[in-house]
Amino acid sequence: MRDHSSTILKIKPSIALIITLNDKNVIMGTGSGFIFWKKNILVTCNHVVKGVNSIFLKFPGVETPISAKVLLKDEEHDLALLKFEDDSRSPLELAPKDTVKEGMPVLFAGYPINIQDLTTHQGIISSIAKDPTGKVIYLIDGTVNSGNSGCPLMDEDGKVIGVVNAKGAVRPDIIEKVQGMSS
């Protein structure tokens, strides 16, 4: 079994716990997100931030949550880009698209089931399939829980190959969509 400690150390500063509040400042839910594409831009699933009043991000090692706003959202692909003020963190790198294969080992790191500490899981790509709309999805043999939505699916070197969606399958087209979005 490969030691992933150096990869986790590298990716950890770029993955945030997302805390959402309603208009009465009561916590509505939590999810995961990661810096990708540009500094100050966090990728997550739209369902994590849909219909909320306030969004806060909590990065590992930082006690004070950072306020965030929805910059762009795509309900069809269940994707949202959040803008926040902290340019001390670097975006995660993108893996070459042609490297994703069935049976390859993968990592995903997020904040499942209301855990406030980053949790990294490992698994494999058990299948590359298409959803009913014809979009390519990666099926993961690994433990994905509520709260993992929006976390990065990565190769063993910590390079992003998709966005985990605990409500559905991992869709690699979401990464392409992020790159095509402009503010």
Catalytic residues: 47, 78, 149
Structure tokens at 164: 């985990």
Contact indicator for 126, 69 with CB cutoff of 8 Å:
no
The residues that bridge with 21 in the sheet, in sequence order, are 27, 54
Classify 98 as helix, strand or coil. Answer: helix
Alpha-carbon distances, residue 80 vs 6, 13, 32, 77, 174 (angstroms): 29, 20, 12, 9, 10
> How far is CA 33 from its chain centroid?
4
**20: Cβ–Cβ under 8 A, 6 or more apart, which residues?**
27, 28, 29, 30, 31, 48, 49, 52, 54, 55, 56
